Amino acid sequence: MADDFRLKMGLFLGGVLLLLGGTALVARWWGRLYREVEAGRAAVARRVLKNSLAPIVANLINKAIDFAFAIVVLHYLGVEGNGRYALAALLVGQYLTTVSDFGLGILTSREVARSPAVANRYLWNTTLLRWAVGGVTLLAIPGIVHLYRLTREPMHPQTVAAIWLLAASLFPAGVAASVSSLFTAYERMEVPAFAALLTNALKVFAGVGVLVAGWGVVGLAASALGVTLANAGLFLYLQYRLLFSPRPELDLGLCRWMLGEAFPLLLNNLLLLVFFRFDTFLLKPYHGDRAVGAYDAAYKFLNATTVLPAYLTIALFPLFSRYALQDRARLAQAYRLALKALLVLAFPTAMITSVWARELIVLVGGKEYLEAGSATALAILIWFLPLSYINGVTQYLLIALNRQRWITVAFLVASVANIAANWATIPRYGLTAASVITILTEGVLLLSFGRVVRRELGRLPLWEVGWRPAVAAVAMGLPMVGLYRLGYGLLGSLLGLAAYGAMLAALRMWSVEERAIFCEMLPARVAGWLRVGREGQEAKKESAGPSGRRS
């Protein structure tokens, strides 16, 4: 088994090397592959496509690399070691990083895009502001460590060391974030995308190196700090090479203005973090590093399932924004169609993951994680997917309707409910409680969103769009669960998918108008084939008599 894992890890590292070489070639020849020489609408279209496609492709590749690297980390650290590192990474990599960023990235991109002449001023002052806020957040670390000392499960010394090493990376990360925001403002999104690929590849090799050397949690945190420093150096090089040479330009008035302007963005980001991962901080004092490591292993799959729908909702946002001003009826139709498409994906994904949770956990982490309860957590957690997909697209709908302030209120309500429910149930029920509360919190958020949607569009069409895929998922689950228990899981999955598709067709999931919209989105040749097939079937029906025989 160990030799088999080493072989797979070797293949993974070889693939990352090939990716690294391909990225270098694309970066070397990018000037010849893409030139902004046209003027007018065509140039704008090409630039928008480039700025959309490059980050999407790079992010998808990075997600795949991250998932494969997570498997390596899970195997080498074990359940408790993974719990120690996961707690440090969550505290610093998510919470403290979000606070130190302070929503300045979006603000910088917006202001510099409007007035490129202020780019240098924003670069210097956002970097200094990130460092100042990051320095303040460091003061919270001793207090957090002390709070855990008061519990029956204090932080392990490895966790504390990892927290401080990762906290040191806030400062080089602030430099990289400031420069990246400028590239976004200059509509050069492909540059941060390529940089992210290179940095991720370096993270993999550095991380695997320290894990193989046996340096464990602390070594992994130290490698993360080194990679962050290298990333900052890379962005500074790209800044000098592709944009301009920075010069000192301190503006305290601008800093004060940015703090006030960016605070709502910070609040939204923090509420989103509390909404999703606050349960981890409660699992630690009541159930220890083992529970945190098991829960983190289950969450690896959730992170993978939210990538594609996120891009779909972002792609729909311009359409939502246009219809919100011009045609509320078409906005409701587009929203309903988006919900249908996402739910058709969510239900079978949740069913397959839930049924195969044990095998999936053994695949990524081994039997140690299975014994720690990761499979049970995953089998429950994955059912947050339908509600999460609904909330994701509804959030962009509310922004298009200029009701973004209500999003903050909704997340605040859901976060308070999440903290209260987790605090009441995690001490006794552990991973199971955390998993169930995650789903229920999505329901609370949907109730808050639904109030505004009904006010703006007349109704929230959940029953209309959701009952068919839900019934089809039940039809899918019957053969899957039955044959899985008899030892024929693969056959059950194939029959379940066939049953799901057949049930959707029998229940007429898509209207004629919706099918026409999908055909318009497909390549012309594929849409033509589908049209020809439908027209042929309709011709056969028309040529048949009342009894079904040909006339």
Q: Which of 228, 225, 270 is nearest to 98 (CA)?
A: 270
Chain-centre distance of CA 280, in angstroms? 18
Amino acid at residue number 138 = L
Q: Which residues are registered as beta bridge partners of 544? A: 550
Task: Catalogue the long-range contacts made by 416-424 (C-beta closer than 8 Å, 24 or more residues apart).
Answer: 417/441, 417/444, 418/274, 418/275, 418/278, 418/279, 418/444, 419/274, 419/278, 422/278, 422/279, 422/282, 423/282
Blockwise average pLDDT, block size 10, the chain, 551 residues = 58 63 55 48 46 65 83 91 95 90 82 86 92 92 94 94 95 92 80 85 89 92 95 92 86 88 79 81 94 94 79 72 80 86 92 94 90 94 93 86 83 91 94 95 92 84 88 94 91 93 88 65 51 49 45 33
Give the whole-angstrom CA distance, residue 277 versus residue 433: 13
Q: Which of these, 81, 373, 379, lies nearest to 216 by C-alpha position?
A: 81
Q: What is the pLDDT of residue 269?
A: 76
Residue 16's pLDDT is 65
pTM of the entire predicted model: 0.83
Written as one letter, the residue type at 86 is: A
Cβ atoms of 268 and 408 within 8 Å: the answer is: yes
What is residue 274's predicted lDDT score, i.e. its pLDDT? 76
CA dist 304 and 292 (Å) reads: 19
Q: Are 338 and 316 in contact (CB under 8 A)?
A: yes
